[in-house]
Amino acid sequence: MNKLLAIPILAVIFILLDLYTYSAIKVFFKQAPRRLKNKLKILHWLIVAFSLIGLFAYHFLDRAYFPPAFRVPFMGFLFVTYFSKAVMAIILLAGDALALVQWYLRKFTRKKDAEALSVTENKITRSDFIKKSAVVVAALPLSTLGFGIINGVHNYRVVRKQVILPNLPSAFHGIKIGQLSDIHSGSFFNKKAVLGGVEMMLGEKPDLVFFTGDLVNNETKELNEYFDVFSKVQAPLGVYSTLGNHDYGNYKVWSSEKEKAKNMEDMYEAHKRLGWKLLNNQNEILTESGDKLAIIGVENWGKGRFPKYGKLDLAHEGTDEAAVKLLLSHDPSHWDLQVRPDYPDIDLMFAGHTHGFQFGVETPYFRWSPSQYNYKQWADLYKNESQYLYVNRGFGFLGFPGRVGINPEITIIELLKG
C-alpha cells in the first residue's frame, strides 16, 4: 500500500483505539478530584498527539532529523503502548459483546437478571469491572515489553559451552572460540552499552572469534557509527565471519542496481577494515604442530524466502586433510537441510539468525520461545550423532528494540579432545 495512504489509515486506527480504550482508563480516576481528572485527561491526549505527530514525521521527513538515540526508543514506545491498548480493546470488546447478549435476553425473553449490569451502592458495576480488568491485563505487556526495552536490550550475557570432539587434534585441545552473531548495527542507540558488550567478549580472551552474519539491517553505512567499537573485536588466531540475509541490501529499495552493487562492495571493504576474514563460500586451514583444523564459511543459505547464496560444496573443497571441520553458516535450518545429510564430516556448525525471537522463557528446566515454531534449532547447543550445532541468540536486535527473557548473547565454546 502507498505510504501516503497507509500512514493516515494507521493514524485513524490509532485514534479510534485511543478513544475506545480511554473509556476504560478514566474509570480508574472516577473518584478523583475534578482538577486532577482534567490534568490526567490533558496528559493522556498530549501523549497520543505526540505519538501520532512522531509517526507522521518519522515517515514523511528526512531520517537525518531522527537519530537512532531518538528513533529506536520512540518506535519501541509506539509499539509497546499500542500493543497494550490492542490487548485492552479485545477485553473491552468481549465485555461489550457479553452486555449485548444480556440486553437481548432481557428485552426479548423478558427474563430479569438481578445481577446483570446492576448498580448498587456498595458494588462496582459489571461494566466498570470489565474496564478495570482490561487496564490491569494490558498493564502486563506494557510493563514487560517496556522493561525489555529499558533493560533487556543491552543485558549481555556470556554463554559458555564445552564441546567434546573425539577427532580433535591434541594441538587444538582447549581452544576457546568466541561467537558473535546478528549485530544489526543499524538498530543500536546506546554506543556505550554496545561497547560494554564488546569488552565482555574481549574479557573472555578467546583464541578465535566467529561472526555469523547480519552485521547491518539494510545497508553497509549503518556500521559507520559503530565501526570503532567492533574493530576492537580481535583474537590471536583471527576473526572469521560470514554474511547473513540482511547483509546483501535486499531489504532496501535502491535507485539502481549499480548503487546496490556499490553497497555490497562496501560490505566487503568493511570486513577488511575491521580485520575480519570474510569467508564467502571459502575455507581457511589453521595448522598447529602439523595438525590441521578447517574453518569453513558459506554465504547465507536456509529454508523459506531467505536468499540462498551459500555453496557449501565449493566452501568444503580442500578440507579433506583437516581432522576437524567447523562451519560458519548464518541460518540454523541449513544444518538439517544440507549439512547433516550431505556433509557428515562437519563436526560443528555455528549459526544465528533467529534472535530467539527476542522473547521467551529460559530456565534450567523449561525453554520456550515463539521462534521454536519456525526453527527446530533456535538457540543453544544441539547434537545429532557425532555432529553439533550452536545457535547464538544474537548480539543486537531487529524490529522490537528490546528483549524479554532472551538476552543478547556472547558465546564462548571450548573444544576438548574426547
Q: Does domain 156-417 have CATH number 3.60.21.10?
A: yes
Work out the average pLDDT over 186-214.
96
Task: Give 161-174 pLDDT, tens digit per residue.
Answer: 999 999 999 999 99
Task: Give 352-381 pLDDT, tens digit per residue.
Answer: 999 999 999 999 889 999 999 999 999 999
Does residue 384 register a pLDDT over 90?
yes
Task: Give 64-104 pLDDT, tens digit per residue.
Answer: 666 776 777 777 778 888 888 888 888 888 888 887 887 77
In three state form, how does the secondary structure of the chain look? CCHHHHHHHHHHHHHHHHHHHHHHHHHHHCCCCHHHHHHHHHHHHHHHHHHHHHHHHHHHCCHHHCCHHHHHHHHHHHHHHHHHHHHHHHHHHHHHHHHHHHHHHHHHHCCCCCCCCCCCCCCCCHHHHHHHHHHHHHHHHHHHHHHHHHCHHHCCEEEEEEEEECCCCHHHCCCEEEEECCCCHHHCCCHHHHHHHHHHHHHCCCCEEEEECCCCCCCHHHHHHHHHHHCCCCCCCCEEEECCHHHHCCCCCCCCHHHHHHHHHHHHHHHHHHCCEECCCEEEEEEECCEEEEEEECCCCCCCCCCCCCCHHHHHCCCCCCCEEEEECCCCHHHHHHHHHHCCCCCEEEECCCHHHHECEECCCCEECHHHHCCCCCCEEEEECCEEEEECCCCCCCCCCCCECCCCEEEEEEEEEC
Does residue 21 register a pLDDT over 70?
yes
Position 116 scores a pLDDT of 45
Position 252 scores a pLDDT of 92
Q: Which of 8-17, 54-63, 225-234, 340-349 has the lowest mean pLDDT?
A: 54-63
Domain parsing of the chain, residue ranges: 3-150, 156-417
Task: Give 97-156 pLDDT, tens digit per residue.
Answer: 887 887 777 777 655 444 444 444 445 576 777 777 877 777 777 777 777 777 788 999
Across the chain, mean pLDDT equals: 88
Percent of the chain residues past pLDDT 70, beyond the cut: 92
Does residue 290 register a pLDDT over 80?
yes
